[in-house]
Amino acid sequence: MRRSVYRVGLGLQAIFYVAAGVNHFWRTGMYAAIMPPHYSHPVALVQISGAAEILGGLGLLPRQTRWLAACGIIAMLVLYFDVHVFMAMHPERFAAIPAWLLYGRIPLQFLLIAWAAVYTKRDS
């Protein structure tokens, strides 16, 4: 049972990151609009982060790349904190998004980091 939960979680996480990464290319403008102004080249950053999410999701699947992919996903999520904090601190710029969701994205990052950390165990 425990092994089944592990595998299902792994598959769901891989699908989640691949889908999220593809979405960065489908909705590039939306993601560029949420980038803090202190970043130059927001479109390039959105595309790079989309590619990183796709590679991270795919990298979770083979055992040989799982540890590196999970660590990369964790690093990526830590880097994303800046965007989430910026959005929460400037809700007027994101009037279409409810304030609770702007703030709720921050603790969600911690949950996603914990989920990715499950797959950093080399004996998995």
pTM of the model: 0.90
Which residues, in sequence order, are CB contacts of 48 under 8 Å at separation 6+?
none
60 secondary structure, DSSP code: T
Could you tell me the residue ranges of all domains in the chain? 2-119
Reported as a single tens digit per residue, the pLDDT across 17-70 is 999 999 999 999 999 999 999 999 999 999 999 999 999 999 999 999 999 999
Distance CA 69, CA 112 (A): 14
The pLDDT of residue 38: 94
As a whole-number percent, the residues of the chain with pLDDT over 70 amount to: 98
Per-residue pLDDT at 123: 58
Rounded percentage of the chain residues whose pLDDT exceeds 90? 90
